[in-house]
């Protein structure tokens, strides 16, 4: 069995290479805005939208009026049309969802276009000697290649973080799985806020609340930032400080989620989790002031990591409907509504007294194993 996998590496361009990368991003940003405006104007006149292929055909003509586009790889420019297409597909999909604000695709301001892509591996990128990666029209860029890539490299995306760091993401297919030794252990996992996750065997993962730890420092810097004049040197410095705080939170959270997901996958052969609609939970959580805590917990990222790590390790991951897993008694099945502040489940029928999250995780395991058995 083979899977798709993306390998991410830090790159260290020289000043000249960094200038080329930034110019490439700027030209891609300009083209993105041009294509977006073209679609908007075309629709207002004809009530139709040009396809990505129609827009790709115009790139040659645009190079005559904007020579700077000639310095950008043609494939990277074509990929901009693909991104516009995807943005509109997402917009039209959101339009069909009742009660959701669609959010029309936005124009990209200066400095707000952060990546470009080589969509095909036709020698547009390749690893070369002395820890370098050769990027078409950029040159041989120093790379921190901390691991070997596997499978067949298909696409390469170069991105810049708000703090000025550069990364290369290489997407590969036909990556062979590396199964772990078989495990007969089965587990249900209930996601929470007070405790990040509770396992059906009683194990718990504490919620580190990384954003909450940095919230005071972030607020202090943001207040200073709001007082600075737009375009001033001090404002640019403070914006970078804000970006560094967010990056620190993101790195801590990513490290935590990867390590905890690895522990679960290493131990259990069957992993049952809830199929959560996290975006809707964040929107509804605003009324109860829970949206920030839900976003900080990053359940979605954790469940995604569990999914691909389980697939790579030969484990079985089952997603179950979370309906009533908290309200049903894991012993007799009786249903009892609970308020959010009730942390102990006490069954009025069979007398079971159990932590509400542990009760939910046992129910998740029960539903998951039943789903597997009937599949």
Tokens of 187: 């587990």
**8 A C-beta contact, residue 95 and residue 102:** yes
- Interatomic CA distance for residues 362 and 188, integer angstroms: 6
Residue 90 half-sphere exposure toward CB, CA atoms < 13 A? 10
Sheet containing 204-206: give its strands across.
204-206, 195-199, 186-191, 270-274, 316-320
Residue matched to tokens 């194990």: 203
How many CB atoms are located within 10 Å of the residue 338 CB?
15
Of 197, 170, 118, nearest to 361 (Cα)? 197
- Contact assessment for residue 197 and residue 306, using Cβ atoms and an 8 Å cutoff: no
Place of tokens 């390749």: 126
Stated length of the chain = 375
Catalytic residue IDs: 190, 274, 357
Do residues 330 and 347 touch, judged by C-beta distance below 8 A? Answer: no
Pull the structure tokens for residue 307.
């999914």
Sheet bearing 125-128, strands edge to edge? 115-118, 152-160, 166-176, 2-12, 139-144, 132-135, 125-128
């Amino acid at each position: 069995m083979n899977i798709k996998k993306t390998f991410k590496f830090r790159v260290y361009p020289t000043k000249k290479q960094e200038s080329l990368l930034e110019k490439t991003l700027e030209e891609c940003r300009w083209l993105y805005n041009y294509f977006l405006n073209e679609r908007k104007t075309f629709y207002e006149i004809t009530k139709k939208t040009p396809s990505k292929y129609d827009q790709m055909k115009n790139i040659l003509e645009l190079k005559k009026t904007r020579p700077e586009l000639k310095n950008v790889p043609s494939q990277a420019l074509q990929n901009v049309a693909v991104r516009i297409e995807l943005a509109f597909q997402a917009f039209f999909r959101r339009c069909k969802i009742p009660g959701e604000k669609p959010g029309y695709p936005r124009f990209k301001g200066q400095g707000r276009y952060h990546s470009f892509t080589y969509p095909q591996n036709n020698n547009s990128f390749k690893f070369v000697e002395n820890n370098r990666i050769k990027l078409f029209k950029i040159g041989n860029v120093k790379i921190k290649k901390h691991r070997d890539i596997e499978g067949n490299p298909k696409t390469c995306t170069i991105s810049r973080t708000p703090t000025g760091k550069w990364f290369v993401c290489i997407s590969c297919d036909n990556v062979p799985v590396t199964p772990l030794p078989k495990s007969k252990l089965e587990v249900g996992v209930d996601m929470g806020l007070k405790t990040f996750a509770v396992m059906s065997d009683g194990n718990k993962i504490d919620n580190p609340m990384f954003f909450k730890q940095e919230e005071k420092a972030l607020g202090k810097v943001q207040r200073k930032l709001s007082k600075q004049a737009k375009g001033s040197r001090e404002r640019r410095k403070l914006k970078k400080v804000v970006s560094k705080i967010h990056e620190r939170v993101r790195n801590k959270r990513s490290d935590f989620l990867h390590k905890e997901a690895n522990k679960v996958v290493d131990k259990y052969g069957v992993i049952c989790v809830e199929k959560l609609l996290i975006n809707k939970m964040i929107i509804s959580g605003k009324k109860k002031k829970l949206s920030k805590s839900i976003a900080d917990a990053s359940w979605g990222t954790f469940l995604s990591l569990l999914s691909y790590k389980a697939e790579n390790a030969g484990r079985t991951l089952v997603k179950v409907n979370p309906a009533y897993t908290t309200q049903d008694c894991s012993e007799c099945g009786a249903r009892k509504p609970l308020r959010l502040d009730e942390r102990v489940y006490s069954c009025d029928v069979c007398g079971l007294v159990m932590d509400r999250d542990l009760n939910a995780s046992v129910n998740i395991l029960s539903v998951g194993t039943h789903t597997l058995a009937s599949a």
